[in-house]
Structure 1
C-alpha cells in the first residue's frame, strides 16, 4: 500500500496491534500471539461468525452498536500466516472511536456495562457450540490455582520468597472454590466476551456514547458471571490494574451500582434468576483469578503478559489481590445491588 503510515494502537497485553493509514483507507493490523492462541485460524473464524451475526442484527435494527469485522485479503482470506514472521489479520477501523483505561464517572460505567450487556443479549440466539474454545479452561479458577501451585513449587526464577504471602492467601480460598463448583454445575453456557475491560468498549469521542465492543479474540463458551466480574474488576478501581498505589485500590460503590444498572437492564430478557445470583460470585472470582494469573506469570518469568519492567506482573497481581480484598470487605453493601 503506497504512502501508508503504521503506528502502534492500544495497550493490549497479548497481541501486537497497529493502525495502518493511507490516503485511501485505514484499518487495524494485528499480529496474533500464537504462543497464547495456538489455533489462530479458529480465533479469526470465531470473530467472523460473531461479527456476521451482529451485522445481521444491526441491519435488522436489533443491535445498536457498530460491528468490528475482519478485513479479507485480495484472495478472500481472513488472515495470513507468514510462518516465523507471524500470523496476521486485519479488522476494520472505526473513525471517531475513543477508549479509556480507567472509569472516571458513573455515567461511563453504566454506558459501557449497558454496551457489554447488549452485546451478550444479542448473541444469546447464536448457538454457542458453533464457537471454538481458543483457550480451553480460560476462566477456570481451580486450574489457574493449580498452575500457580506448580509455578511456586518450581520457583524457576527464584522469585517466590518475596511473594509467598500472596501464594498462601490464594491457597486459602477453598470456600470460594467449593461455592464456584456448585454454581457452575447449574449455569447455562453462553457465548461470552471473556475480556470485558473498559478499553474493550469504544466510546464515540464526539459525544461519548457507546460505539462498539472490540477484541473478540476470547469470545468463547462460558458463563455471564465472568463477563460481569471482569467489568467489576476493571471499572471499579480508581487506579489502573498495574498501579502500585495500593492504598487507593478499592471498589467504588457508585461505579459498582452503575455496572449493575447498565448490565442487568440490557440482559433482563435472557438472564435467568440463577445467573443473576451468580454475578456476585463472578465478581469475586475474576478479581482473584486475574491476580493468580499475573502472579503465576511473574513466578514463571513473564512468559505470557507483556511487561514494561521487572516485577511488573507482581505489581499487577498485588493490585488485583487488593481489589479482591476490598470486594470481600464490602460484600454486604455491594451484593445488595444485585438483589
Structure 2
C-alpha cells in the first residue's frame, strides 16, 4: 500500500526507514526518514472526515493567507504530489504528506503549567493571526462538531432508546447532567449574541497538537483537520477540559479529578497574550463558561454512548464510557466550585 502512495510523491520506499508515528486515534500516521530528509505520511479517516477535500481546501486557504501576511509563522501544510495534489487517492483511501518539523518535541500528557502557557499562546496566536481572514470561506469538516444543542438532543435520544439496564444503573448521573441544562441554554444565547464572533478555531487543542522546541517553547500547532469557523469557547474550553486536571478522562479515582489553579492561570495568560485585544468584554467574561461548555458536552457524549452500548467511542471494559462521563462531571463540579475565585484571575489579567 505505502509503496503505491510514495510512488505518487516520486519516492522509492526501499530507500526510507518507515515507522508508525504518534498516538492519534483518528488518522493513521507514518514517519519517513532517509539521511537528513524526513516526512510525515497520513491516511485520512473518512469515517470521521466525510469530505477530505474540505480539509484540504481549508488548510490551503488558511496557509495561503498566513504565508502572505505572516511569512515567518510556522504553518505546516501538505506537500504536493507529483500531479500537484494535496491529497493522494488510492484503493485504501486518501493520503497526504507533510514536512517533518525537525528538532520538535510533542507531549501526550501535560507536564507543567509552563507548557500549558506555551500551548495556549500558540492556539491564541493562530486565531489572532487569522483575525483578518474571512472565516466564512472555510467548510465545516465535521458538521456540528461543537454544537452543544445537538449533543444534548442526542443525549435525550439515548434516554429514550438506550440500554434499559444501563439507564437504570445510570439514573443518578443522568439527573446530575440534566440539572446542568443551563449550560445548553447559555450556548443558545451565545449563538445569538453579536459580541461572540465566529473566528477561525482549531477545535482540538489537546497538548499533543502543539509542537515545542527543545527548550519547551511553543513552535506551532498541528493536526489541522478540525480547523473551521467557531466560537472562542471551543478552543479555550478544550484546553480547560484537557489541561486543568492532573488526571485524564480515564481516571476512575474521581477524587483526583480537580481543577489546578496554576494551570487555569497559565491558559488565561497564554491565550490572552495573543488574543487579549481581539476578544470582546463579553467573551473575556465567558472564560469559565468555556470550560463548562466543553466539559459538559464531553460528559453527555460519553454517557449517551454508554447508554447506546458504546457504539461511538467503544470501550475496552464494561462501563468505561460511564466512568468517563462521571470523571467529566467531577471536573465540571470542581470548576463550578472555584468559579468566582478563578474569574478574578481572568479580570486581573493585564491583556
Picking from 51, 54, 59, the partner of 1:42 is 54
**Offset of residue 159 of structure 1:** 3.9
Structure 1 residue 2 displacement after superposition:
2.1
Output one character per residue of 1:228-252: Cα deviation in whole Å (capped at 9) or x when no partner.
1111111111112222221111110
Counterpart Cα distance in 2 of 1:92 and 1:306 = 32
Matched, 1:70 2:78: yes
The 2-side partners of 1:314 and 1:32 are apart by 29
Long gaps (5+) in structure 1: none
Shift of 1:277: 1.6
Give, in whole Å, the separation in 2 of the partners of 1:174 and 1:306: 26
Give the one of 16, 32, 48 matched to 2:28. 16
TM-score (norm 2): 0.88
1:164-216: CA deviation from partner (whole Å, max 9, x where unpaired): 33233222222222222222311111111111111111111x21111110111
Q: Is the 8 A contact 2:152 2:184 kept in 1?
A: no
Aligned partner of 2:341 in structure 1 is 333
Q: CA deviation at 1:70?
A: 0.8
**Which residue, 94, 116, 128 being the options, matches 2:135?**
128
Equivalent of residue 173 in structure 2, options 166, 175, 180: 166
Distance 1:243 1:9 in 2: 25
Count of residues in Structure 1 that have an aligned counterpart in Structure 2: 333
1:119-268 equivalences under 5 Å are 119-155=126-162, 159-186=166-193, 187-204=196-213, 206-268=214-276
Question: Which stretches in structure 2 are left out of the alignment for 5+ residues?
Answer: 1-12
SS of 2:285's equivalent? helix
Query: Deviations for 1:115-134, whole angstroms, at most 9, x for unmatched residues?
Result: 11111101111110110011
2:10 corresponds to which residue?
A: none
1:5 to 2:14 alignment: no
Q: Which residue number corresponds to residue 99 of structure 2?
A: 92
Q: Is the 8 A contact 1:115 1:210 kept in 2?
A: yes
Q: What is the distance in 2 between the residues matched to 1:22 and 1:245?
A: 45
- 1:52 maps onto 2:59 in alignment: no
Asked if structure 1 preserves the Cα contact closer than 8 Å seen for 2:149 and 2:188, the reply is no
Residues 156 and 31 of structure 1, relative CA distance in 2, 3 Å threshold: farther
How big is the alpha-carbon RMSD for the aligned residues of Structure 1 and Structure 2?
2.1
Conserved in 1, the CA contact under 8 Å of 2:86 and 2:96?
yes
C-alpha displacement of 1:157 = 9.1
Match of 1:280 among 278, 288, 294: 288
What secondary structure, in the 3-state scheme, does the structure 2 residue paired with 1:19 have? strand
Moved more, 266-275 or 157-166: 157-166
Does structure 2 conserve the Cα–Cα contact (< 8 Å) formed by 1:102 and 1:239? no
Distance 2:333 2:263 in 1: 17
- Contact 2:233/2:293, CA 8 A, preserved across alignment: no
Equivalent position SS for 1:2: helix
Q: Does 1:318 align with 2:326?
A: yes
**1:179 is paired with a residue of what secondary structure?**
helix
Question: Is the Cα–Cα contact under 8 Å of residues 70 and 129 in structure 2 kept in the other structure?
Answer: no
CA distance in 2: counterparts of 1:158 and 1:44, whole angstroms: 44
Contact 1:110 1:263 in 2 (8 A): yes
Which residue of the partner structure matches residue 32 of structure 1? 44
TM-fit CA distance, 1:307: 5.2
TM-score by length of 1: 0.91
**Cα distance 1:57–1:245, how it changes in 2: closer, same or farther (>3 A)?**
farther
